Structure 1
Amino acid sequence: MPERPFTLAVIVGSTREGRFAPVVANWFTGHAGRRADVVTDVIDLDEIRPYELRYGSEEMTAYAKRVGAADAFVVITPEYNHSFPAPLKHAVDLLHEEWQAKPVGFVSYGGISGGLRAVEQLRLVFAELHATTVRETVSFPMAGRLFDDEGRLREPLDADQAATALLDQLAWWAQALREAREARPYGG
């Protein structure tokens, strides 16, 4: 009997004007959408506007429900000045229990490092929230050169393989941790 699909929240972490994040997010969600074991929910921080969220507001409640309903996360992040964007940190810090006992993966982009320095710092943040980060990542160094004007990868093979590995790990962790949370609520 096949397992029920897991809900993957894809967090689009950049809110800068002229951002490249939608190109990467569209590529990744297209890849994830070809899988039968995953249902994606794209949470674009440019639409959520985390600095405007206030506790008790409808917008905050809706954001918390979407994060809480996810079984796993992929954070799409650029690297700005050897780190990740401030609105992403704020959006993560607004919640706590909603992240607990759930797996987190990363798709990063940037200059020569491909955003990996941002990912390393995010791993520390999510560990503090009792989330489990997976090892596999997708990284796009010099990302603007890798995609054409239509948002397609010029040479997709390596990135497709990396995305498959990331999603395979997330699927395992998402199913295992969902079963564990259903059997016994996480007490972190």
Structure 2
Amino acid sequence: MYNEAQLTVNMRVQMLQDPSAENFSKQLLDIGDGKVDVHENTRCIKLQTDFCTIVDSQNTLIDHIFADVHTQYANRKWLAERAILAAKNVDVNGLNLKIQQLLPGDLVSYKSIDGVCDINETVNYPIEFLNSLDLPGMPPSHLQLKVGSPIILLRNLNPPELCNGTRLVIKKLMKNVIEAIILNDYYRCAN
């Protein structure tokens, strides 16, 4: 036996108390719920004029959203007001790398553990296969970061202090540890 529940309130939008964020969230829900008319020939939808800004390239998008990032990245309030959403991990990774190249300092590389627990399974799961996996909610097998880069907490292994999805900014990069500070306090979990 199970109970079905439906989430109806976007808590992040509600906590921000920003009318434009609420409007955008409603527009996305309307699209997802099929409330936006679909053109019968093309099967496309017409977005409202205030839905988004269309740009011609990733570089134009980055320049529009993260103008002067090389000097503004230390301003947490400025950084907390900016994000680029992308549908595919490959696009996210490309955007992240382009934006990080605009920040001062050197990239630090982190590689995933490339192996399996059971030595007999090594033949079934070669390193190349493990490195090729690009799963939602999992970091890439080769992660490149800089101090000052915004990141997202994917999975908190020591709850309840921070919620999954909390935005952070890298403060220090060490061999096996990444030290980060919370970008804003909206998403602390309740004790």
Same fold (TM over 0.5): no
Q: Comparing both chains, which one has the higher relative contact order based on Cα–Cα distances under 8 Å and sequence gaps of 6 or more?
A: 1
TM-score by length of 2: 0.28
- Which of the two has greater helix per residue? 1
Question: Which has the higher Rg, Structure 1 or Structure 2?
Answer: 2
Q: What's the TM-score, normalizing by structure 1?
A: 0.28
